[in-house]
Chain A
Amino acid sequence: MIFDIAARSLASSKVLIPVEQLLGDCTGSRMPEVDPERLSFDAAIRAVEACPTSALQLEGRDGARQLVLNYGECTGCGNCVEASRGALRAAKRLVHCGVSKSALIRRWDIDSRNERFSDDPVAAGAASEIRALLGRALNIRQVDAGSCNGCEAEIGALTNPYYDLERFGIHFVASPKHADMLLVTGPVTHNMAEALKRTYEATPSPRLVVAVGACGCTGGIFAGSYAISGAVDQVIPVDGYIPGCPPTPAMLVTGILRLLGGRALKGL
């Protein structure tokens, strides 16, 4: 029987997704983006009003009206896409998995219809980042600090034959003492705050901490609840942020590789 299953598995088609296709892909995450061609003040107002979190904001800055989208707070509910009649659409690519929290935020000038900071952090150094990355193995310890388990389901998918995180030399380990990186999900609950701090302390330096999901990045829809201590960076120091509710496996790969790339190049 074991041989039947092994034979069957070997006979099935190869499904591994090449890394070039993964980097920056966000299909299925429902993250929105602005179509600058169709952006108008009216559409921006409708979108902001439809947003049930504070992910979308209108701001006046440098004498210009701007539409601000903070991916760290976005749950991808799709309300803005419906309300804005085409000015916002479901994004296929999202490179705003940030090393800094500000990289999660995009701004569009409503009147000139231009994005204010349109740097593409992944495209610029993807190749060298991956090369740098392949030079070392990385051990990840995942910590659920209060998540709804949506993020866990997608992090679990990273080891399936489509994403196969191990191809990059990256492994999930059972103990923080074996880890180089903590992948932390959830708004940190009061009941988990102490356990998260102790897990962080048990992780040897140098260590990286990545906040995962809208809840991990900003507290998400649970921010302000009586039971929540806050976003991950309100409890332990954070080096990287991966938005999404939940982030897709491709977004997780993008975020992890990006963070490693940056650090690796700095000679960590």
Chain B
Amino acid sequence: MNPIGSRSRSATGVTEALALLNTGDSRLVSIFGSIEDDGTRRVHSIIDVENREYRLLSERVAGAIPSATRITPAASWYERELHDLYGVEIEGHPNLQPLVFHEDWPAEIHPHASAPGMRDAPQGQYRFLKVQGEGVCEVPVGPVHAGIIEPGHFRFSVVGDTVLHLELRHFYTHKGTEALFEGAPVMSGVMLAESVSGDNCFAHAVAYCQAVENAFGISVPPRGRALRLIGLELERMLAHIADVGALCGDVAFVVPASYTARLKELLLQSSARFFGTRCWRGLALPGGMKHDLTQENARALGAIVAEVARDFAELARMILETPSVQNRFESTGTLKRDLARALGLVGPAARASGLKLDVRHDHPYGRYRTLALDIPHYNSGDVLARARIRIDETAIAARLIAQAVEDLPAGAIATSVPWQGSAEGFSAVESPRGELLYWIRVRDGYLRRCHIKSPSFQNWPALPMAMPGNIIADFPLINKSFNLSYSGCDR
């Protein structure tokens, strides 16, 4: 599992984190709160130092803490969430408006009301930035959208077709998931993790299980690690194939959209056939896997994956050579490298903007520790680059699965985990959307706190930065090219 670097619980964790973020080669991974046994609040920051070491810094806080947002805008939403959920005052934050709680939030409900010194849930009208000038119109979109997609609100300021400014209002699907972990037995946590972002359920399950394994110092047997790799890469293929299809759909190129839907269904049906579940739910558990694969089934799965990868590669080549697709994808929704870096972008979107980040490579875990991984990246930061990344990664994922099924280690698929202990730990995986990290605290076999750093929470603020200068009709395409999860962000 990705080894923990240093851990600091000093009296100056917040200041240390700011100092570290001020040095060149660090990236903010997450900021979150917890409530200690005596009711005081603790603020935790996780920072990736030089793309190879996660550093966790934490500090007990009584009053306000200084904002990190002016050092790195990547901190903005984390601090707003910390302010909403834990009532921690943030000094010097440029825009500390409510993030999680909306106007209709019932006034009597405060998630952490039991903690002393907790403020009421923030109420009041949210203020959108007002763009003024001749001919400027506001276009509100959502939360209920036109397609079969999740809810969120987008507020465009446009002149004619051209977007000047886009502001997001999300957290319509906030389900209080992190709080539901609290008090749950360690084993039940997997089920909750699987329902944080349903289309990446296996990545969430594995990240959670790895956090438990790290906390208790347990290692998964080689066969369990290989099966997890198959699941993770299969999920990546499903996500990327579906995304490329949807991008074609958004430029009215419906034949490949339909064809990719067929390839995706083929993989889902194979999962149902070999694992009893279309979506890889209920298969991971702390310590390993629940479901084994016979050699015969492994070979059959490998053959289907190879066939899908071959078909998709050929289809992708034709898509990319189609002039109308090139015309719509190229230089649309461009996000420059500097901005991507400042916003702490992760996943395929980061790699399309020239950032060579991948948890599998930078902080290898499980089976990936023994693999030399090829990380594709592009510099143009447009829809085309984000499509290309997904096409390349689908091929790589298929190769990884082929290797794994060919060379499945013998032996057990799980080791047992001591349920009664108390421990803390975290772990990250590269989900199809990017860096996904779980941090847990366990007391006597029950979860006391679970924090989820989701790649969508990190990447959503980048979408509005890719919009100015584009026409509003390209928004669905640009949005789809990031393909972020609303539920994963809102939790």
Q: Could you list which residues of chain A lie within 8 angstroms of chain B, going by C-beta atoms?
A: 1-2, 4-6, 8-9, 12, 15, 27-30, 52, 75-78, 82, 90, 142-157, 159-162, 172, 174-176, 186-187, 189-195, 199, 215, 220-222, 225-228, 245-246, 248
Contact = CB atoms under 8 A, between A and B. Distances in A.
Given A5-B318, A245-B195, 19 more contacts: A9-B259, A28-B268, A144-B173, A147-B150, A148-B198, A148-B201, A151-B198, A157-B265, A160-B264, A161-B258, A161-B261, A175-B146, A190-B105, A192-B172, A221-B191, A222-B176, A225-B177, A246-B279, A248-B272
Interface in B210-225: none
B146 A75 contact: no
A191 B268 contact: no
A246 to B, nearest CB: 7
B136 interface: no
Contacts of B109: 190, 226-227
Contacts of B2: none
Contacts of B151: 144-146, 192, 195
Contact of A226 (B111, B146, B271, B278): B111
A146 B173 contact: yes
Given A149-B197, A245-B281, A246-B198, A27 B272 contact: yes
A189 B172 contact: yes
Given A151-B198, A191-B102, A9 B175 contact: no
Contacts, number: 196
A90 B271 CA distance: 15
B175 A153 contact: no
A171 B143 CA distance: 21
Given A147-B173, A153-B198, A221-B191, A174 B147 contact: yes
Interface in B177-217: 177, 179-180, 188, 191-192, 195-199, 201
A162 B191 CA distance: 29
B76 to A, nearest CB: 20
Contacts of B192: 221
5 shortest interchain CB distances as A-B pairs: A150-B198, A28-B272, A227-B176, A174-B146, A160-B261
A194 B104 contact: yes
B259 A8 contact: yes
Given A78-B282, A152-B148, A191 B173 contact: yes
B24 interface: no
A160 B242 CA distance: 11
Contacts of B315: 5, 8
Nearest to A149: B198
A187 B198 contact: no
Contacts of B195: 75, 148, 150, 215, 220-222, 245
Contacts of A187: 175
A159 B144 CA distance: 20
Contacts of A176: 144
B109 to A, nearest CB: 5
Contact of B148 (A142, A161, A191, A194): A142
Contacts of B188: 52
B261 A225 contact: no
B446 interface: no
A125 B232 CA distance: 42
Nearest to A1: B322
B487 interface: yes
A172 B148 contact: yes
Contacts of B281: 30, 75-77, 150, 245
B150 A144 contact: yes
Contacts of A246: 198, 279
A260 B192 CA distance: 33
A189 B151 CA distance: 11
Contact of B258 (A155, A160, A225): A160
Contact of A248 (B102, B196, B255, B278): B278
Interface in B79-100: none
B262 A30 contact: no
Given A78-B282, A152-B150, A246-B279, A227 B143 contact: no
A55 to B, nearest CB: 12
Contact of B279 (A52, A153, A156, A227): A153
B487 A149 contact: yes
A238 to B, nearest CB: 18
A28 B197 contact: no
Contacts of B144: 143, 176, 195, 199
Given A28-B272, A78-B282, A174-B147, A225 B264 contact: no
Nearest to A225: B176
B174 interface: yes
A184 B198 CA distance: 16
Contacts of A156: 148
Given A192-B173, A199-B144, A221-B192, A162 B199 contact: no
Contact of A157 (B102, B197, B255, B268): B268
B180 A225 contact: yes
B327 interface: no
| B195, B268, B271, B322 pick with most chain A CB within 10 angstroms | B195
Contacts of A152: 148-150, 198-199
B394 interface: no
A190 B174 CA distance: 8
A154 B265 CA distance: 10
Contacts of B314: 8
Contacts of B264: 157, 160
Interface string B156-179: 000000000000000111111101
Contacts of A146: 151, 172-173, 175, 487
Given A1-B321, A9-B255, A152-B148, A160 B265 contact: yes
A76 B282 CA distance: 8
A90 to B, nearest CB: 6
B27 to A, nearest CB: 27
B431 interface: no
A172 B249 CA distance: 15
Contacts of A222: 175-177, 180, 195
B290 interface: yes
B259 A148 contact: no
A77 B179 CA distance: 21
A162 B319 CA distance: 23
A161 B264 CA distance: 11
Given A12-B262, A186-B173, A195-B144, A150 B279 contact: yes
Interface in B303-321: 314-315, 318-319, 321
